[in-house]
């Protein structure tokens, strides 16, 4: 059917849409929602006009608009017009292939009693699922295992990498903070020691404030994860019917000038200074002004792990290396003397 849509028909249709939307004398014909639909996906609308006739033009009642949207969705899905669905399926298949291989490796090692069988997350899941009661209507244990491991990999890699990248970028743009973090490391770890250990982290309060301030300015999930209301409710005076998809704009909340002084400035000290109104804010979902890991029962389950991993990586990096930008004077990039290993 697509091939029967001629270019001239599409062009004419687009022109018609523009004319309709600019028709000041006849505002009631085009509601703002339709304008957005039409401008957002003009070609699709053109095709729809041809597929379902003139029904799309001049609609004004909510039920007609609802019907339009429903048809639009059906057609988009049917034709996979922008190829997104195909691309998504391909990516999912590649990821599944990767997980499948990992799972099969584990199973083989278990069958052949390989001593080197890894006691990693997948290995643990395998043992648990071996003994789990199987419910006939649930997914198979392999699917549960692969899906759970994949959720952790997808949820945990980009988030931590992106936060650390922002931390480095903020430090390079705020050398005063960088120097202060390095002094803290020199004071508590000392340059005669090569590695920062987990047990050192509690002493590195300034470094922790740097990570917190990075998560405030650049939360790895700026809109968290979409949630759907299961019941009608009212939030901040807005009525939210059951079944509404709700996005929480973390970036906006975490830069609210009513809460944060100099909201867009990188100031780790705000979490350390006595008298600062946000000194005791933590990131574990208790202070709604700062929720980079979300809040409530679906908040990030890995908050402690993620913080610990980021603190450890950042501390080691700043301890061992001098970080610079290409425009800096050539500087030695290693901070530590050449110690025997």
Residues making up the annotated binding site for heme are: 300
Residue placing its CB nearer to ligand HEM in the complex, 163 or 254: 163
Among 42, 117, 156, 169, binds ligand HEM (CB under 6 A): 156
Nearest C-alpha neighbor of 307 from the set 178, 212, 165: 212
Cα distances (Å, whole numbers) of residue 205 to 164, 185, 233: 17, 10, 40
95 binds ligand HEM (CB under 6 A): no
Strands 227-228 and 245-246: antiparallel
Among 57, 81, 152, 272, binds ligand HEM (CB under 6 A): 152
145 binds ligand HEM (CB under 6 A): no
150 binds ligand HEM (CB under 6 A): no
* Interaction residues for ligand HEM, span 200-259 (CB under 6 A): 219-221, 224-225
Residue placing its CB nearer to ligand HEM in the complex, 9 or 96: 96
Among 170, 177, 196, 300, binds ligand HEM (CB under 6 A): 300
Give 335's contacts (C-beta < 8 A, 6+ positions apart): 182, 191, 319, 320, 321, 322
| Binding-residue total with ligand HEM (CB under 6 A) | 22
> For residues 236, 238, 241 and 244, what is the CA-based torsion angle, rounded to 10 degrees?
-80
Strands (E), the chain: 227-228, 233-235, 238-240, 245-246
Q: For residue 227, list its beta bridge partners.
A: 246
Give 122's contacts (C-beta < 8 A, 6+ positions apart): 102, 103, 106, 145, 149
Per CB under 6 A, which region of 95-103, 126-134, 154-162, 195-203 contacts ligand HEM?
154-162
Among 293, 314, 315, 318, binds ligand HEM (CB under 6 A): 293
Phi, psi angles (nearest 5°) of residue 334: -105, 130
312 binds ligand HEM (CB under 6 A): no
Supply the minimum distance, in Å, between the C-beta of residue 196 and ligand HEM. Answer: 19
Residue placing its CB nearer to ligand HEM in the complex, 268 or 294: 294
Residue that is written with structure tokens 């979902």 in the block: 285
- Do residues 277 and 262 make contact, with C-beta atoms less than 8 angstroms apart? no
Among 278, 299, 317, 323, binds ligand HEM (CB under 6 A): 299
Residue placing its CB nearer to ligand HEM in the complex, 45 or 160: 160
* CA separation for the pair 294, 288 (Å, rounded): 9
Can you give the binding site for ligand HEM, defined by CB under 6 A? 151-152, 155-156, 159-160, 163, 219-221, 224-225, 292-294, 298-302, 305-306
């Amino acid at each position: 059917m697509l091939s029967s849509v001629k270019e001239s028909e599409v062009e004419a249709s687009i022109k018609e849409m523009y004319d309709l939307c600019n028709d000041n004398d006849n505002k009631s014909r085009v509601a703002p929602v339709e304008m957005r639909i039409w401008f957002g996906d003009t070609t699709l609308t053109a095709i729809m006009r041809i597929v379902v006739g003139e029904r799309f033009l001049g609609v004004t009642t909510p039920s007609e608009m609802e019907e339009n949207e429903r048809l639009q969705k059906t057609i988009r899905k049917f034709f996979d017009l922008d190829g997104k669905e195909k691309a998504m399926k391909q990516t999912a298949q590649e990821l599944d292939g990767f997980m499948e291989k990992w799972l099969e490796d584990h199973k083989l090692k278990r069958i052949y009693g390989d001593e080197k069988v890894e006691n990693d997350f997948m290995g643990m899941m395998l043992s648990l699922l071996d003994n789990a009661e199987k419910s006939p209507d649930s997914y198979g244990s392999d699917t549960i295992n692969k899906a759970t491991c994949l959720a952790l990999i997808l949820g945990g890699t980009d988030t931590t990498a992106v936060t650390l990248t922002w931390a480095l970028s903020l430090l390079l743009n705020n050398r005063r903070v960088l120097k202060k973090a390095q002094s803290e490391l020199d004071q508590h770890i000392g340059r005669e020691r090569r590695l920062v250990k987990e047990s050192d982290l509690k002493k590195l309060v300034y470094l922790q404030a740097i990570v917190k301030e990075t998560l405030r300015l650049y939360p790895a999930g700026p809109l968290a994860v979409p949630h759907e209301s299961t019941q009608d409710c009212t939030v901040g005076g807005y009525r939210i019917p059951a079944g509404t998809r709700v996005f929480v704009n973390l970036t906006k909340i975490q830069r609210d000038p009513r809460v944060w002084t100099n909201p867009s400035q990188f100031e780790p000290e705000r979490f350390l200074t006595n008298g600062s109104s946000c000194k005791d804010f933590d990131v574990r979902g208790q202070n709604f002004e700062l929720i980079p890991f979300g809040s409530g029962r679906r908040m990030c389950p890995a908050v402690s792990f993620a913080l610990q991993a980021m603190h450890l990586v950042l501390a080691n990096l700043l301890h061992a290396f001098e970080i610079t930008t290409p425009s800096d004077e050539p500087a030695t990039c290693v901070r530590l003397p050449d110690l025997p290993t």
